[in-house]
Amino acid sequence: MATMTGQNVVDEARIKLDDTDATAYRWSDAAMLIYVDDAENFLTGIRPETLLRTDGATRTRETLTSLATELVLSSNYKEAFVSYVVQKALSVKASNKQDLSRGRTELDTFKLEIGIGT
């Protein structure tokens, strides 16, 4: 299991979104928190095994209230998680056809990475 916080996901997503200037973020931290929570909810709904801890116990899915929250995910799903956040950001705030196309590509990547195809 790899440990990652909501902020780690957002940082990686911002790099893919070319949204790294903290003085002029295109997507606010509040919006990104919603996307991270949505990604975790969606991913754990499709792949409940992402809730398994290394000791075999299952953790309870709770709504994220802070980007500092620790997410426990199988390392196999880290990139999928980031791809979901990127596609969500692009689908909500697309400024052109290129953004929409990138969003669809990220969604396809997410689906492939979690094994549900396109």
Q: Cβ atoms within 10 A of the Cβ of 81, count?
A: 25
Rounded Cα–Cα distance for residues 62 and 40 (Å): 9
pLDDT digits 0-9 by tens, 52-90 = 666 777 777 778 889 988 876 666 678 888 999 999 999
CA angle at 8 for the pair 16 and 114, rounded to the nearest 5°: 70
Burial class (CB in 10 A: 0-12, 13-18, 19+), 69: middle
Q: What is the identity of the amino acid at 2?
A: A
Q: What is the pTM assigned to this prediction? A: 0.84
pLDDT digits 0-9 by tens, 10-37 = 999 999 999 999 999 999 999 999 999 9
Predicted pLDDT of residue 64: 83
